[in-house]
Amino acid sequence: MADFRCTYRLQLGPGLGFGETRGLLPYLRDLGVSHLYLSPSLQARSGSTHGYDVVDPTRISEDLGGEDVFRALCGAAQEAGLGVILDIVPNHMATSEEKNPFWRDPLWRAKFFDLDWRTGMHRRFFDVGELAGVRMEDPEVWETTHAKVVELAQED
């Protein structure tokens, strides 16, 4: 792992995915950057411009290039002497039935999200109604939502 000196945060999205980021590595290395700090890289809602509206924390974002291209970026970063830091936004997910299996299934929704069944309301992320608070205090929820990033970190 690279010695920590400084990070360079990259906001991934349309036009800047894992493949495009790989092309920036020589420039960032020459700047003296030690670690890339990547914005959320897990599967977000289709068309997301920021990645904070995660719908599936068990998968790397296909919209950003998918897991194979992500792994290639990490390998190239390591070869360039750079580390990679992920922003995994573990405290909320998008309330989208589109691709979010945890929200779509009523039993999983009750397990994974902080819901009030009397009112039908969910704990939101600040005042953003499309982002629901995830029950990280439940060990099973934590394990499920962190499995992919733990897998990736252990492979380093």
Q: For residue 8, give every residue at least 6 positions away whose Cβ sits within 8 Å of its Cβ, in sequence order, or none.
A: 28, 31, 33, 35, 36, 37
**Structural domains present in the chain:** 7-154 (3.20.20.80)
Dihedrals phi, psi of 150, to nearest 5 degrees: -65, -45
Give the SS3 label for residue 151.
helix
User: Would the pTM count as exceeding 0.85?
Assistant: yes
Question: pLDDT tens digits, the chain, 156 residues: what are they?
Answer: 668 899 999 999 999 999 999 999 999 999 999 999 999 999 999 889 899 999 999 999 999 999 999 999 999 999 999 999 999 988 889 988 778 999 999 899 999 998 887 887 877 766 667 888 899 999 999 999 999 999 999 886
